[in-house]
Structure 1
Amino acid sequence: MPLAIAAPPPNIVFLLIDDMGYADLSCYGSKLVNTKNIDQLAREGIRFTQFYVSAPICSPSRTGLLTGQYPQRWRINSFLENRESNTKRGMAQWLDLKAPSIARELQKSGYATGHFGKWHMGGQRDVGDAPLITEYGFDTSLTQFEGLGDRILPLLETYDGKPPAKHALGSDKLGRGEITWMERAKITGAFAARAQAFMSEAQENKKPFYVNLWLDDIHSPFFPEKALRSDGTKKTLYNAVVQSMDDQLAPLLGYLHTVPNTIVIVASDNGPEPGAGSAGAFRGFKGNLYEGGIREPLIVWGPGRVKSGLVNEKSVVTSVDLFPSLLKLAGVTLPKAYIPDGEDRSDALLGKSQLLRRRPIFWKRPPDRPGPAGERFPDLAVREGDWKLLSMTDGTAPQLYNLGSDPGEAKNLASTEPERVRQLTEKLLAWNKTLP
């Protein structure tokens, strides 16, 4: 009997959208835009309805995606800002180079690795001595004002006859890379084009590739092209940027349809900015631990490897699952010293199973997002099965929701389920004690 020939490792493209709400793509229910190019990936692949990020704000969420570990383990609890602010909030100035990196593991296994777009794990504002993105396992990078190395910085065009304003937040003074100024409305297309060129080169060199295309869109400030600005309200401008983003991705997504053995992952890093995006039926938004802040779209596409036309409503997947899952798909063994916070969910990503997860998921609120006076947002949260508990750091003020019957977190069941509250609180506080 002939030996089975192992499948070649897949190309992997991770498309991460910035600050997009759960319901901002038309394939997730938006009636205000027609994201036909991303929708096509959803139709031809799998659309998940229970995907979570590890934090409701950018820097820690991205840390969870890169490392597969809860970002608080690396003292990244909120968005990285200037040195004084980072120190005041008890945070690191950048992600420690000792942290795990999915790109580093794939690079060591022969992958061509590239990062194109937003980084925000060090090298922003006045932090000019952070490591370069390439030191985390990427062969090449092109970023924006929240990372070092070659970068594209935006010009904010208001179409009023005045020169466009530069929006750099200090990045233009840090050096350590070539700077290109570009109209903000066109930057997504530029990142996509550079990513496509990198993929083409990897193909020519007969190497599998791993590419982060982590867009600066659709984060504020919102500056779409003039024809899309309409009444100029925040909501209108936001949806115009969503539409423009999808349009600018069309050439790259068309190209990927010609590249065999490729898996594309589409997600967002956290919930929407209030007054801009939509979390749909979910409560909350960017910065808090209700579903609207941490539940995000997840689309997985890969003709010949990923099942087509599925909507997975059962599998609870979290961003820290991607590290072990993608390494498994690439045939790469986890590092010996690596302690995963996530689970291997590769079968779910391929559409082979919808098995329930084994371990609970935990969250910690960014310290600089306490909520309105007199109505503080919960500090901690845990989900196990359909049950989700939110509480303060000492376990007080519990809120308990059954997400199976109440995904909008409208009915607090803490008073009627005291034993469940006790059990989940115990697990949540025990997890919190493991953090620095």
Structure 2
Amino acid sequence: MDFKIIKYFLIFVGLVSTSCKTNKTTKTAEVSQQKTYAEQPNIVVFLCDDLGYGDLASFGHPIIKTSNLDALAASGIKLTNFYSSAPVCSPSRAGLLTGRSPNRAGIYDFIPGIKKSPDNRDLVHLQAHEETIPAILKSVGYETCLVGKWHCSSRFNSGVQPQPNDFGFDYWFATHNNAAPSHQNPNNFIRNGKEVGEIEGYSSQIIISEAIQWLENKQTNKPFFLEVAFHEPHEPVASPEDLVQKYLPLAKNREEAEYFANVENVDLAVGRLVAYLKASNLDNTLIVFSSDNGPETFMRYERAKRSYGSPGELKGMKLWTNEAGFRVPGIINWLGEKTFTGTSDKVVSALDLLPTFAELSGAKLPNRVLDGESFVTIFKDGNFNRSKPLIWAFYDALNDRMVAMRHGDYKIMARLEVDNKPVPNFHNLYDGNIDYIKSAKLTDFVLFNLTKDISESEDISKTQPAVFEKIKAEFEIQYKNLLDGSHIWVRDE
């Protein structure tokens, strides 16, 4: 192997990031405030779109083959109580990036396009003052990349609103929302502000190829943060025919086979990147895999004819505040590091990623209210004692109770009522409805012990009144604090 090949091999695989302890010149010139590059882990976040809690073999699916993800879970940490920050895409992504409830950012529902609407929904976007994972990691030397779905602004690739690069992504290859016209041969990707045109292939594999190319083109030994935001298995589903044929004998119909194949294609894409990382000896790489929310309901809208996602044992689906809306598969695997290995039932949220990554990288936490907290203790022995309850206020819920909170073993939920009438569904909070929302009362509470009743089948609010009253009091405080801190959209503000 000649010098040039060796040189590029080192650059591509990032060995310098694990060997620069011996390179004193580089270490002195490229040191973070608290940690050297050698100590800072590379970080990869895989985020699926509408993947259900029961859609992976390792989480109980009886048919879909997900051998690569199952291997990551088996050799890493399988999180059975992992929560997204919302039961729908845009707010979930905003919460993950900021470590804050998406309500604080004013992102309450999925973000549509720019058509003006009376509820100011067309204004909604992740605002420039929000501090994100890539931004704080850049502050301590990381290179950053986003491939896949963005969906955090109503005006994508426009100077009117901040774009991925404004939140710390050095490089981005993304779509506003779904891959169009489907996962196959998408034509709506933007690369660093420039339209790409139609790309042959399937979205999950296309973005993995882009991610690998970005890694190969890295010219420094700096650690990296890579967000891989799959479009799959969100509609419009399109899957490789060989995988569809594999599942046809096992599925109810072709549409279900296409869904099963779609999930396996994601697994294969994850496997490609993990294999690249291992072959490149990128040992100090922390991998997180999850989903933005639960599975879509079959035929909830006309194009959802392939939405055969599984909630597993959970109640509800996407857009619900019952468990299936936001309890999602969670897998963590720290390549090259000795950590706890096995299943953890500790309550972990996508909101926790920012403070966890900050602690691991030596970055300073944003000087603002954070709803997440660092779970670094989980790497030692699988334990994490969450001190902050998780609360969701989703005003467009398909179920009756819009507000829910997970606190320890318990889940409490409530309706919102004004003058003894249920609050109707809202996509957005703005100056035209905020007084009405603030006048609403939490009513008709239910309480579940999720450690004993994962399916939320037995309301224990009457049989355990002392527990109920204690959690109800905390719930009311948490909801008021969240509502008081929520961003309200005002036109021409």
| TMscore range, shorter length | 0.7 to 0.9
Alpha-carbon distance in 1 for matches of 2:318, 2:211: 28
- Per-residue deviation, 1:167: 7.5
**Residue in 1 that maps onto 2:135:** 104
Alpha-carbon distance in 1 for matches of 2:401, 2:120: 18
1:347 counterpart = 2:394? no
1:338 pairs with one of 349, 365, 368: 368
Q: Does the 8 Å contact 2:288/2:333 carry over to 1?
A: yes
Question: Judging changes above 3 Å, is the alpha-carbon distance between structure 1 residues 214 and 86 closer, same or farther for their aligned structure 2 residues?
Answer: farther
Could you list the runs of 5+ residues in structure 2 that have no partner in the other structure? 1-34, 299-307, 417-440, 487-493
1:297 counterpart = 2:313? no
**Residue in 2 that maps onto 1:245:** 266
Counterpart residue type for residue 311 of structure 2:
A
Question: Judging changes above 3 Å, is the alpha-carbon distance between structure 1 residues 396 and 145 closer, same or farther for their aligned structure 2 residues?
Answer: same
SS of the residue aligned with 2:146?
strand
2:228 pairs with one of 213, 231, 239: 213
Deviations 1:346-376 (A, max 9, x none): 121x2434132112111112x333x3xxxx4
Q: Does the 8 Å contact 2:76/2:332 carry over to 1?
A: yes
2:208 pairs with one of 177, 180, 192: 192
Q: Does the 8 Å contact 1:63/1:95 carry over to 2?
A: yes
Alpha-carbon distance in 2 for matches of 1:298, 1:288: 19
Q: Does the 8 Å contact 1:122/1:146 carry over to 2?
A: no
1:392 pairs with one of 408, 411, 415: 415
Q: Does the 8 Å contact 2:448/2:458 carry over to 1?
A: yes
1:255 pairs with one of 276, 285, 288: 276
**1:301-316 → structure 2 map (5 Å cutoff):** 301-307=333-339, 309-313=341-345, 315-316=346-347
1:363 counterpart = 2:414? no
Q: In terms of mean alpha carbon deviation, does 61-70 or 326-335 score higher?
A: 326-335
Q: Does the 8 Å contact 1:117/1:214 carry over to 2?
A: yes
- Per-residue deviation, 1:246: 1.5
Deviations 1:247-303 (A, max 9, x none): 233321101113121111111110001232111111111001111111111111113
Q: Does the 8 Å contact 1:387/1:402 carry over to 2?
A: yes
SS of the residue aligned with 1:210?
strand
Give the alignment's TM-score, normalised by structure 1: 0.86
Could you list the runs of 5+ residues in structure 1 that have no partner in the other structure? 158-163
2:70 pairs with one of 29, 33, 39: 39
- Per-residue deviation, 1:91: 7.5
Give the alignment's TM-score, normalised by structure 2: 0.77
SS of the residue aligned with 1:392?
strand
- Per-residue deviation, 1:243: 1.1
SS of the residue aligned with 1:143?
strand
Kindly tell me the number of residue pairs found equivalent between the two proteins: 406
Q: Does the 8 Å contact 2:448/2:460 carry over to 1?
A: yes
Question: Judging changes above 3 Å, is the alpha-carbon distance between structure 1 residues 424 and 63 closer, same or farther for their aligned structure 2 residues?
Answer: same
Alpha-carbon distance in 2 for matches of 1:244, 1:328: 33
Alpha-carbon distance in 2 for matches of 1:309, 1:128: 45
Question: Judging changes above 3 Å, is the alpha-carbon distance between structure 1 residues 192 and 70 closer, same or farther for their aligned structure 2 residues?
Answer: same
Deviations 1:36-77 (A, max 9, x none): 112221122111111111110001111110000000011101
Question: Judging changes above 3 Å, is the alpha-carbon distance between structure 1 residues 296 and 306 closer, same or farther for their aligned structure 2 residues?
Answer: farther
1:179 counterpart = 2:196? yes
**Residue in 2 that maps onto 1:27:** 58
Q: Does the 8 Å contact 2:66/2:267 carry over to 1?
A: yes
Question: Judging changes above 3 Å, is the alpha-carbon distance between structure 1 residues 24 and 86 closer, same or farther for their aligned structure 2 residues?
Answer: farther
Counterpart residue type for residue 293 of structure 2:
N
Q: In terms of mean alpha carbon deviation, does 22-31 or 53-62 score higher?
A: 22-31
Alpha-carbon distance in 2 for matches of 1:355, 1:119: 30
Alpha-carbon distance in 1 for matches of 2:122, 2:391: 19
Alpha-carbon distance in 1 for matches of 2:340, 2:443: 45
Question: Judging changes above 3 Å, is the alpha-carbon distance between structure 1 residues 431 and 26 closer, same or farther for their aligned structure 2 residues?
Answer: same
Question: Judging changes above 3 Å, is the alpha-carbon distance between structure 1 residues 294 and 91 closer, same or farther for their aligned structure 2 residues?
Answer: farther
Alpha-carbon distance in 1 for matches of 2:384, 2:225: 27
**Residue in 2 that maps onto 1:380:** 403
Alpha-carbon distance in 2 for matches of 1:201, 1:87: 46
Q: In terms of mean alpha carbon deviation, does 321-330 or 223-232 score higher?
A: 223-232
1:288 pairs with one of 303, 308, 320: 320
Question: Judging changes above 3 Å, is the alpha-carbon distance between structure 1 residues 24 and 85 closer, same or farther for their aligned structure 2 residues?
Answer: farther
Question: Judging changes above 3 Å, is the alpha-carbon distance between structure 1 residues 87 and 125 closer, same or farther for their aligned structure 2 residues?
Answer: farther
Deviations 1:72-119 (A, max 9, x none): 011101100134576527675211110121110111111001111111
- Per-residue deviation, 1:414: 1.8
Question: Judging changes above 3 Å, is the alpha-carbon distance between structure 1 residues 306 and 297 closer, same or farther for their aligned structure 2 residues?
Answer: farther
- Per-residue deviation, 1:128: 7.4
- Per-residue deviation, 1:306: 4.8
Alpha-carbon distance in 1 for matches of 2:454, 2:87: 17
**Residue in 2 that maps onto 1:161:** none
Counterpart residue type for residue 396 of structure 2:
D
Identity %: 30
**Residue in 2 that maps onto 1:130:** 161
Question: Judging changes above 3 Å, is the alpha-carbon distance between structure 1 residues 85 and 384 closer, same or farther for their aligned structure 2 residues?
Answer: farther
Question: Judging changes above 3 Å, is the alpha-carbon distance between structure 1 residues 57 and 78 closer, same or farther for their aligned structure 2 residues?
Answer: same
Question: Judging changes above 3 Å, is the alpha-carbon distance between structure 1 residues 84 and 391 closer, same or farther for their aligned structure 2 residues?
Answer: farther
Q: Does the 8 Å contact 1:117/1:215 carry over to 2?
A: yes
CA RMSD in angstroms comes to 2.6
Q: Does the 8 Å contact 2:46/2:229 carry over to 1?
A: yes
